[in-house]
Amino acid sequence: MTSISEDSDKEKVRSVSVDLNNDASLVIDIPDALCERDKVKFTVHTKTTLSSFQKPEFSVPRQHEEFIWLHDTIVETEEYAGLIIPPAPPKPDFEGPREKMHKLGEGESSMTKEEYAKMKQELEAEYLAVFKKTVQVHEVFLQRLSSHPIFRKDRNFQIFLEYDQDLSVRRKNAKEMFGGFFKNMVKSADEVLISGVKEVDEFFEQEKTFLLDYSSKIKDASAKAEKMTRSHKNVADDYNHISGALNSTAADNNTAFKKTISVCVLQKLEDRVASDQELKLTELLRYYTRDIQAAKDLLYRRARALADNENSNKALDKARLKGKDIAQAEENQKQCLQKFDKLSESGKKELTSFKARRVVAFRKNLIEMTELEIKHAKNSVSLLQGSIEILNSN
Amino acid sequence: PDEGDIFSEEGSYVRSDVHHTTNGLHSDEELDLFTGISLHRCTMTQSGDQFELNIAVTNPEKIGDGMNAYMSYKVSTQTTLPMFLNKMFSVRRRFSDFLGLYETISAKHSLLGCIIPPPPQKSVVGMTKVKVGKEDSSSAEFVEKRRAALERYLQRVVAHPSLLQDPDVREFLERDELPRAVNTQALSGPGLLKMINRASDAVNKMTIKMNESDNWFESKLQEVENEEQLLRRLHAAVDSLVNHRKELCSNTVVFSKSVAMLGSVEENSALSRALSQLAEVEDKMEQLHQQQAFSDFFILAELLADYVRLLGAVRYCFEQRMKVWQRLQEAQSTLQKKREAEAKLLWANKPEKLQQAKDDINEWESKVSQYERDFERVTCTVRKEVLRFEKEKARDFKQHIVKYLESLLHTQHRLVKCWEAFLPEAKAIA
């Protein structure tokens, strides 16, 4: 079992989405999480001044599936069709460290005790990094909801935060699977629908073009960033092996060998650079890939409403022509128009604030990443200078 | 534009002719060749005089076409030693000439107990690509790798005081045309390795102890074997590092392009500009990684590979001493037999054959004392050689490690500069 508690690292890590937790009336965080085998249990902690809650402060344990349930119920709520639904957090993925652990177990007999200890340490660090990441994305999801004027009032959200029993969402698994399949079908359909619909509004026309293009580019950048950071990790691993091999020298009269251990301290720095890059740039790109998708989903819902609106107009014309069911058709048309207008209005607001949010997040993230790169490189410089001095003076 | 910068800043290790094409002839000033080399030897003769001797292998040139083509290298020497005809001179040599030199040296000096520096490995694949005329980066890399290896080989040869005195070595450096070396088949990489491993086995199988200095030799051999193992592992790890760094290069380039694309569709103009700047930074990163991979390979990996082979040469040297010992043993046993034969003759009372027997005994007695002296000399030489080798190795490693750390330092400096230049761009996003 691994647990993680509040630490200042998380503050730095929370730059993916900004303007969260600014409102003291509802503050949510995940201060703690336990990992048992494959299951992660998040401790969701809420502090609130709102009267709609029973207590001012409370915590509940939640698993990933329950977060998905919350996301899905919000998506399915008709009222929220005109809002960008915060993307669901991805499932905790411990595949990387698990594979490494397997390799470690297999290779145990062929390693020295020190090498094994070192690899184990490395493995634990990687495990911890994945763990921190998954806590972060789950936390940000909740904070997006709590900082949104409409979502924070959602009944299911409140249940999620407050209800201290199991939400019994497990039976959703079969439905989830089917739902997921359906969602994928719909996603490819939405591209067609969005591009097919005749747009009357200049704003939405531009948004459509922008989002479709941006979506594919950011997905690509996100994938390439991941590959790059993985390569960086491989380089760090190699330094680890080199230091392992050096450390296992028995009585060594070649002092230059011993002094090369400093080269391997660099491995630690390379590793840190790789994981900071990972958290900053890669996570930013990953997150916004999902967020862009959520924005696209909004466009899709609006396009559907527009299509419905047009169909209802056609139905009304037909009814008038036939002289039958005119009142019903009129009512239908009125409703469709209302829905469409409401969607368009709130959609416009949401997309505008999304733009601003995205730019701010990129800015914060890029600045932090750059400052970290500079810090690490400067550290390396002084370390290297020190080592060179020592070696030259002997 | 940056490329020139990188290499000149890299300074003393990287040579400016690294990017020579295989078919070009380049004008160069003799002196310039030596300013780039960090492995200057300034050795002392036995009388304590200091002298200078610097060797460079440069200007690879492809001679001929098709499967009969070969690479010709310029071997330049700069020296204050009086035994050479000139102070600065150069000749052209091909790879098989170097192998021929090794053969000659080995034949003359290995039974004396010298540790003979092994030549660079043959590579059928590498050479075929060059012959066939593939002018791509991998064959250019191969030629550079070989050029550098040939240079290190010669530098090691002349660093050895007895080998430097060898007229064949002098001839190799000075003489315009060398007779073509044949029979260099045995010296392919795996071939050499097999020969050395067989030698090791022979030493290990020896059960009869020679004398008390045996312990020294036995434990030394064990040390050598252990170190060889360690260096192999290190070499494998560094090899992996080089490959992963090359992968990082290509992934970084791909990422850079992707970020540029993202920047081009970004609607916010300041963010768009920052993203294209980020793409440029990543491009510079790729160049830095490329350069670092070069250092990883030429400073670290090749050093380790060289010493794995050198340690093999040390083992081979021990085996040669073994041979001398065996020769002594065989002579002693023959002498013993001759003495027994004489005794038999005395007993059987055959005076006419007795004189022959006495002559035989005299012959073998002098052989035995000759071989005893040989063995003592070899033992003494091997001990000296091992100590000299260890000193050289420590110096070599230290020098290379410092060079490597300096290359890392250089990279990190550039990193700081790149990111510091980008920071204001990131801050300008609004």
Domain with residue B156: its CATH number is 3.30.1520.10
Closest CA to B88 of B29, B159, B134, B160: B29
Helix, strand, or coil (residue B70) = strand
Residue pLDDT, tens place only, A178-221: 555 555 555 565 666 666 667 778 898 888 889 989 999 999 99
The beta-carbon neighbor of B244 closest among A238, A266, A378 is A238
Cα dihedral A180→A183→A185→A191 (10° resolution): -150
Residue pLDDT, tens place only, B268-281: 999 999 999 999 99
Among A10-24, A139-153, B181-195, name the most confident range: A139-153
Fold of A1-90+131-165: PX Domain (3.30.1520)
Q: Are residues B60 and B142 in the same domain?
A: yes
Asked if A210's CB is within 8 angstroms of B401's CB, the reply is no
Closest residue in A to B422 (Cα) is A370
Burial track B211-245 (b if 16+ CB lie within 10 A, e otherwise): eeeeeebbebbebbbebbebbbbbbbbbbbbbbbb
Give burial (CB, 10 Å; 0-12/13-18/19+) of A285: buried
For the cut 50, the answer to whether the pLDDT of residue B112 exceeds it is yes
Residue pLDDT, tens place only, B146-169: 999 999 999 999 999 899 999 999
Q: What pLDDT does A191 receive?
A: 65
Residue pLDDT, tens place only, A51-64: 888 999 999 999 99
Q: What pLDDT does B127 receive?
A: 77
Q: Are residues B322 and B415 in the same domain?
A: yes
For the cut 50, the answer to whether the pLDDT of residue A384 exceeds it is yes
Q: Which two tokens stand for residue A287?
A: 């997150």
Q: What pLDDT does B51 receive?
A: 81
Question: Which strand (E) or helix (H) includes residue B157?
Answer: helix B137-159
Between A23 and B376, name the one with better pLDDT. B376
Between A15 and A251, name the one with better pLDDT. A15
* H-type alpha helices, B268-301: 269-295
Q: Are residues B180 and B218 in the same domain?
A: no
Q: Are residues B318 and B366 in the same domain?
A: yes
For the cut 60, the answer to whether the pLDDT of residue A98 exceeds it is yes
Contacts of residue B427 in chain A, CB cutoff 8 Å?
Answer: 363, 367
* φ, ψ at A59 (rounded to 5°): -135, 145
For the cut 80, the answer to whether the pLDDT of residue A171 exceeds it is no
For the cut 60, the answer to whether the pLDDT of residue B183 exceeds it is no
Q: What is the mean pLDDT of residues A378-387?
A: 86
Domain residue ranges of chain A, discontinuous segments joined by +: 1-90+131-165, 228-394
Position B137 in a domain: yes
Q: What is the mean pLDDT of chain B?
A: 81
Q: What is the mean pLDDT of residues B178-195?
A: 62
Closest CA to B217 of B384, B372, B383: B383
Q: Which residues pair with A59 in a beta bridge?
A: A45
Closest CA to B193 of B325, B306, B312: B312
Q: What pLDDT does A115 receive?
A: 72
Position B285 in a domain: yes
Residue pLDDT, tens place only, A234-246: 888 888 777 777 7
Q: What pLDDT does A273 receive?
A: 62
ipTM for the assembly: 0.83
Helix, strand, or coil (residue B22) = coil
pTM, entire model: 0.80
Strands A26-36 and A2-4: antiparallel
* Amino acid at residue number A106: E
Q: What pLDDT does A119 receive?
A: 77
Between B133 and A316, name the one with better pLDDT. A316
Position B380 in a domain: yes
Q: How many C-beta atoms surround the C-beta of residue A282 within 10 A?
A: 23
Q: What pLDDT does A44 receive?
A: 93
Asked if B230's CB is within 8 angstroms of A249's CB, the reply is yes
**Predicted confidence band of residue B357 (pLDDT cuts 50, 70, 90):** confident
The Cα of B407 is separated from the nearest Cα of chain A by a number of Å equal to 10
The Cα of B147 is separated from the nearest Cα of chain A by a number of Å equal to 27
Q: A263 near B404, Cβ under 8 Å?
A: yes
Q: Are residues B228 and B154 in the same domain?
A: no
Contacts of residue B408 in chain A, CB cutoff 8 Å?
Answer: 263, 266, 380, 384
Q: Are residues B242 and B390 in the same domain?
A: yes
> How many domains in chain B?
2
For the cut 90, the answer to whether the pLDDT of residue A142 exceeds it is yes
Residue pLDDT, tens place only, B25-73: 333 444 455 544 434 444 444 455 678 899 999 999 988 888 888 889 9
Q: Which domain holds residue B118?
A: 50-184
Percent of chain B past pLDDT 90, that is, above it, reads: 47
Considering the domain A228-394 in this protein, what is its CATH number? 1.20.1270.60
Q: Are residues B156 and B267 in the same domain?
A: no
Q: Are residues B343 and B232 in the same domain?
A: yes
Q: B224 near B315, Cβ under 8 Å?
A: yes
Asked if A217's CB is within 8 angstroms of B261's CB, the reply is yes
Q: Are residues B177 and B288 in the same domain?
A: no
Percent of chain A past pLDDT 90, that is, above it, reads: 31
Q: What pLDDT does B2 receive?
A: 34
**Predicted confidence band of residue A21 (pLDDT cuts 50, 70, 90):** low
Closest CA to B140 of B235, B38, B63, B62: B62
Domain boundary among B141, B165, B184: B184
Closest CA to A47 of A167, A161, A163: A161
Asked if B244's CB is within 8 angstroms of A234's CB, the reply is yes
For the cut 90, the answer to whether the pLDDT of residue B366 exceeds it is yes
Between B430 and B321, name the one with better pLDDT. B321
Residue pLDDT, tens place only, B405-423: 899 899 999 999 999 999 9
Position B102 in a domain: yes
Q: Are residues B267 and B384 in the same domain?
A: yes
Helix A283-322 to helix A113-146 angle, to the nearest 10 degrees?
Answer: 40
Position B36 in a domain: no
